[in-house]
Amino acid sequence: MGLMRSLFSGVSGLRNHQLFMDVIGNNIANVNTTGFKVGRIGFSEIFAQTLKGTTQPVSNRGGTNPIQIGLGMSVSTIDTIFAQGNIESTGQVTDLALQGEGFFVVSDGARRYYTRAGGFQFNAEDTLILPGSGLKLQGYLANQDGEITAGTPITDLRLPINRKIAAVATTNVELAGNLDVSKNPLGTILETEQLYAIEEAGDNSDVEGLYASGTANGSITGLIPNSTTVTVTDGAGVSRTYIYVDADTSTDNDAFNSLDDLVAEINNDFSGSSFTASLNGAGQIVFTDDSGATNDITIDSSNPLLNQAFSTLNGDVFAGSLTSDEFSHVARADDTLVNLRNQNGVSLGLTATDLVTINAQVGGSGLPPGGLTISAGTTYLDFANQIETFLGLTNSDGVEISPDRGSLIINGDGGKAYELTNMDIRATDASGTTIRTAFNEIFDNTPSNYTERQAAKDVQQSSTTTVYDSLGNGVDLTFIFTRDVKNPNRWTWTAKVPEPAQVTGGSTGFVEFNTDGSIKQFTYDDGAASVQINPGTDADNLSINLDPGKNGSFDGITQMSGFNSSTLIASQDGYGMGVLDLISIDESGQITGSFSNGVIQLLGQIALAKFTNPGGLIRANNNLFETSGNSGDAVIGTAGDSFNTNVVSGALEQSNVDLAEEFTKMIVAQRAFQANARTITVSDDMLSEVTSLKR
């Protein structure tokens, strides 16, 4: 019997190590099977017979141990090892891998199965399935609002490709960005034509730049200091030459800079014996005879223009006084109004007691008429100051007189609110019956009179967004912010929409800022609480609340220097109808859809299952597992919430088979099989010896 026991032990070893090889072979065969979990075999000894039992110690003798002989070995377990497999990226969004515990739940409609193999695809019914078996992935579907509410049942994850999302009318617009306070609005700048004034004795204007009317009819230019000359010869043959210089204060050095200076030089050389020179009230040089006899005067200049202006001084001064062209200098602030001349050297025709009336529009509104009565001493500056006062100008330039052209320059205050239009200044005699035409041709509201050097321009920033009505029609809503030049730290705003849409309420208002640039208040001009829009369609009217940010904060609109933001509308909450474009799956298994209207909405969430004893699951075909009495019931939940698990989209979990370990086990199994075979061989030899004893 002893020999028989060794034979049976060897047979059990052969049989069970063959099972060992079967497990190894299956593991190696599934080395590339997605989600495969490696098997592990466990052995135990079989006890068959006790030859002698134990005895307990008595008196002075010790006890004895049992004598037992086993009948070999058996398979105690074949376990499934659920160690994490490597994650391999595939790029396919519906390929899913689990990083951590748990199983995907799939169903055939009658029973549920569990798997780690996540190679899912959409079938013809837009349902996520395992393509090898057709089993449907289970999860939770979101409602039309994109929410998974408590108590949502687990079901097939069916995500219609043609799913639509209904349009939602805009109800809120969030305002943000910065209004650049460093930019200043531009004011209207108006300028008249060039103006001159009579060159009178004592004015001492540089001859260069004087206007000569009569013969030359032009500005005297081209005089070269220390080079240009004027030569005067009287009837007695006395000749003197005078040189033009940059500046001269002497009257006996044969040099001149002004007409006053030239007259003084001539009188120094000729007055009292030949003729006397003077400058009359019309700006003319006058030669008067002192000789009492024929006295032919000649005057010649190396400058052609000046020579022409002096040409009428040539002749017999005894026969009568000789006069030059009328000279005028560029008008200055201290010139009297009655001495002003136009760009052609023609008097404006003003006299003392004349009445000047002023009319204009500021910001499109007419001002009450103003004016002044001219006196002999009323200066050009008095006239400019009167206009400045009438217009109520507050800028530092106001109304000024050009030092280069003598023109009147009116600098309006900045912004369209102070835009100057219809500037109309006229003069008449005291009775109002005689019109001073030459004056009016410069200062009245004839279109060509004033040259607009700069148009009034507001500092504006605008931003446009598309809002949606209840039918999903888009309407471009534009907000224009205009800096308020009348109130510091305030901007007016206007809401506009293109036709046929109309803003029916809450179209204008203002936003005011604190001195630190944070918002102080945001108001509507008409007492509205929202912007009301008739979209011009069959949809309902829109009522849009504006959110400019919390008062005193910087989270909405701000007013800072140096940064001009074109994004003054941060967001709006409406959208048009959209069609599902694509899906994505996050770490928690939530499936979100991106729609053609830009909306991203939750569509569903993948359900996961875990077990108290996953080793108790029963393997089924196609990488599936089924519950058993020893696995425990499936606990259904979601990744990141119920389970310490991440769902990896675009990847698959690979087999957790370790080939090196399996080949090592294969060697062990092979050697064990050989050893058991040797046990049978030796036992057979011993039986042969026993059977030989009868011979």
Whole-angstrom distance, CA of residue 472 vs CA of residue 349: 71
Residue 63 has pLDDT above 90, yes or no: no
DSSP letters, 464-498, are EEEEE-TT--EEEEEEEEEE-SSSTTEEEEEEE--
| Mean pLDDT, rounded, for 395-423 | 95
CA distance 669 to 22: 10
- The pLDDT assigned to 48 comes to 67
With tokens 């910001």, the residue in question is 363
CA dist 348 and 366 (Å) reads 27
| Structure-derived torsion over alpha carbons of residues 91, 93, 95, 101, reported in degrees to the nearest 10 | 110
Alpha helices for 192-281 (secondary structure H):
259-270
Q: What is the mean pLDDT of residues 203-222?
A: 96
Q: Which helix (H) or strand (E) holds 360?
A: strand 355-362
Kindly report, residue by residue over 138-158, the tens digit of the pLDDT.
999 999 888 999 889 999 999
Assess whether pLDDT exceeds 50 at residue 600. yes
Beta carbons of 318 and 183 less than 8 angstroms apart: no
- Give the whole-number percent of the chain exceeding pLDDT 70: 99
At residue 43 the predicted structure's pLDDT band, cuts being 50, 70 and 90, is: confident
pLDDT for the residue numbered 5: 76
User: What average pLDDT does the chain have?
Assistant: 92
Give the separation between CA 547 and CA 603, rounded to whole angstroms: 30
Q: What is the mean pLDDT of residues 365-394?
A: 95
How high is the pLDDT of residue 53? 78
pLDDT above 90: residue 13: no
Q: Is the peptide bond before 403 cis (omega within 30 degrees of 0)?
A: no
Structure token pair of residue 359:
């009319």
- Say what the pLDDT of residue 598 is: 82
pLDDT at residue 679, rounded to an integer:
82
460: number of CA atoms within 13 Å, CB side? 13
Q: Which of 19-23, 317-321, 482-486, 577-581 has the highest mean pLDDT?
A: 317-321
Alpha carbon distance 142, 354 (integer Å): 88
Q: How many other β-carbons are positioned within 10 Å of the β-carbon of residue 49?
A: 11
pLDDT mean over 213-221:
96
Mean pLDDT along residues 303-324: 97
Q: 238-271: per-residue pLDDT in tens?
A: 999 999 999 988 888 999 999 999 999 999 999 9
Decide if pLDDT at 3 tops 60. Answer: no
pLDDT at 1 over 50: no
Report, as an integer, the average pLDDT of 72-87. Answer: 89
Domains and CATH numbers, the chain: 2-83+656-692 (no CATH), 87-153+584-653 (no CATH), 172-183+459-572 (2.60.98.20), 187-194+332-454 (2.60.40), 215-324 (no CATH)
Q: Whole-prediction pTM value?
A: 0.65
pLDDT band at 675 (very low <50, low <70, confident <90, very high): confident
pLDDT at 608 > cutoff 90: yes
137: three-class secondary structure by DSSP = strand
Type of residue numbered 19:
L
- Residue 157 region by backbone torsions, left for phi larger than 0, else alpha for psi between -120 and 50, else beta: beta
Q: CB burial class (10 A; 0-12, 13-18, 19+) of residue 433?
A: exposed
Least reliable range by pLDDT among 321-325, 512-516, 570-574: 570-574
4 has a pLDDT exceeding 70: no
Helix, strand, coil percentages in the chain from 3-state DSSP, rounded to 5: 15, 40, 45
